[in-house]
Amino acid sequence: MSCGNARVGGILPRKCFSGIGRQERLSPLLFYGKTPAGGCLVATLPASEKGAFRRVERGSLVKRRSGIEAEGRRPIACIIPPFLLERMAEAGDSAIRRRAVVDLAQATAVHAVRDLVRTMPSLLATPSPSCCRDRLIYDAGGSDNLPGRLVRREGDRRSRDPAVNEAYDHSGATYDFYSEVFGRNSLDDAGMTLISSVHAGEADGEGYQPMNNAFWNGSQMAYGDGDGLVFGRFTQALDVVAHELTHGVQSFTSNLVYRGESGALNEHFADVFGVLVRQWSQAGAAKRGRRKEGASTKDRKATSRSERSWLIGAELVVPAATRRAVRDMQHPGTAFVNDPLLGTDPQPAHWKDRYRGTADRGGVHINSGIANRAFVLAAEALDDEPWQTAGRIWYDTMLEIPSRASFADAARVTTRIARDDHGAVAAEAVREAWKAVGVKVSAAKRAAGAA
């Protein structure tokens, strides 16, 4: 993988080839890609990522087919975190284990070039011919050769394929949310075309298997069909689609570095707006239903607090007594508990319990739970819909926050924006929400923010 028009490379010791292959010699592990001028892009994998290759079974990781364009395999962020794939790679079921190993290898390769990709988001955008909502849905046909065959474009009739319709509808709902709530014109605020590939697959040495993930790669979305055992079709969940597309919004705004605290905030903002898109869309459907029945919608809340769901990916996971979703924003650490395949949700709900290790790029999918709970507490404390005051505060923060922001930065900026734009009550709600999860805004910094 590489940036611009470079072709996909792979992870390799010394010898170069196109694709991902098993590493018999693990040091040094390098990323290699050919540029249009014939030069090489080389990056060393961080030590924290090398363990993924040591744990896999012999023969499970194989060389990919050559000639896949970089646009096809340049994921910025995946919805399923690596620690879940690692857990599944240790499963007793050989089919689940095999799928997880292949997905984990792909995720490991992605991390080597993530920072290169984030430096040039505008070069990866496909402009809309109308500068308005424009969707293109492709069918990857179970392969990893993206985008695939064009099967539906903006304004076309519905397809017989539910995945095509879900990708079309959910990307449209995400566009409409950002447009109607925040006045934003697509991910780049300049009418960027929303491109999606459904039925994406991963090479496993004998052909292709359905991808057990969804990702945004800087220019398009790609969705796998899941394994049917733990995860279903990834287009099913609106919050998952909106989460991934929000990574696209971030690349044109805060562009948060995907490691440590800033990486956890990157995942946090994607979770926040993923859930808000779903809640907003559900509220609109409910209001339309009431109008159809002739009931008044004036002054009626779109959702009550008891009706709100703060789960991420509830429609995605195959139902089981031990799993409810991929993440729970309101109660981090409870989305899955003692699950035979996933284990127990590792997300902390408080800063004192934060993950301090190097896995998951410093806990980007783990520590995001702390900020997620802060947002829920703030949204529930305010007397309107979550996408209104709280959503606006967090959106404006996403536009302003620095790329290497810490949790303390996020707390300070959200509190200042709440005070300046929404008043003392909103500021107190936001400040208390961060305090409840162990992130405090000092009086000195509050005063500095007001200056």
316 and 196 assigned to the same domain:
no
Both tokens of 371, joined, read 């900020």
Residues 77/31, Cβ–Cβ less than 8 Å:
no
Residue 1 resides in a domain: no
419 and 297 assigned to the same domain:
yes
133 and 271 assigned to the same domain:
no
Residue 29 resides in a domain: no
- For the chain, the domain total comes to 2
Residues 46/111, Cβ–Cβ less than 8 Å:
yes
Residue 85 resides in a domain: no
Tokens 């909106």 belong to 242
Q: Please choose, from the candidates 31, 62, 32, 63, the residue with its C-alpha nearest in 3D space to the C-alpha of residue 49.
A: 31
Residues 163/171, Cβ–Cβ less than 8 Å:
no
Residues 143/201, Cβ–Cβ less than 8 Å:
yes
421 and 274 assigned to the same domain:
yes
Domain boundary among the residues 189, 217, 251 is at 251
Distance between CA atoms of residues 120 and 59, nearest Å: 36
Q: Which domain holds residue 231?
A: 121-251
Task: Name the catalytic one among 244, 261, 267, 385.
Answer: 244
273 and 243 assigned to the same domain:
no
pTM: 0.76
- Element spanning 250, H or E: helix 238-251
Residue 58 resides in a domain: no
299 and 439 assigned to the same domain:
yes
Residues 329/373, Cβ–Cβ less than 8 Å:
yes
Digit-by-digit pLDDT tens for the chain (451 residues) are 333 332 233 322 222 222 222 222 222 233 333 333 333 233 333 333 334 333 333 333 322 322 223 333 333 467 777 777 777 777 777 777 776 766 666 555 444 444 555 555 554 556 656 678 999 999 999 998 999 999 999 999 999 999 999 999 999 999 999 999 999 999 999 999 999 999 999 887 778 889 889 988 888 999 999 999 999 999 999 999 999 999 999 999 999 999 999 999 999 999 999 999 999 999 988 776 666 566 544 443 555 676 799 999 999 999 999 999 999 999 999 999 999 999 999 999 999 999 999 999 999 999 999 999 999 999 999 999 999 999 999 999 999 999 999 999 999 999 999 999 999 999 999 999 999 999 988 754 443 344 3
237 and 289 assigned to the same domain:
no
| Gyration radius of the chain over CA positions | 21
Residue 369 CA to its chain's centroid (Å): 14
Domain boundary among the residues 220, 251, 282 is at 251
277 and 423 assigned to the same domain:
yes
279 and 428 assigned to the same domain:
yes
Query: Helices (DSSP H) in 39-154: which residue ranges?
Result: 47-54, 82-88, 94-111, 114-117
Listing DSSP states for 364-400 in one string gives: TTTTHHHHHHHHHHHHHHSSS-TTTHHHHHHHHHHHH
- Using CA atoms, how far residue 395 sits from 246, 254, 386, in Å, is 11, 10, 12
235 and 310 assigned to the same domain:
no
Residues 335/344, Cβ–Cβ less than 8 Å:
no
Q: Is 244 a catalytic residue?
A: yes
On the CB side of 117, CA atoms within 13 Å amount to 28
Residue 162 resides in a domain: yes
241 and 276 assigned to the same domain:
no
- Using CA atoms, how far residue 170 sits from 55, 180, 247, 273, in Å, is 36, 15, 15, 13
Contacts with 326 (C-beta within 8 Å, 6 or more apart), sequence order: 79, 80, 84, 240, 312, 313, 316, 317, 335
Residue 284 resides in a domain: yes
280 and 405 assigned to the same domain:
yes
Task: Name the catalytic one among 166, 365, 385, 422.
Answer: 365
- Element spanning 338, H or E: none
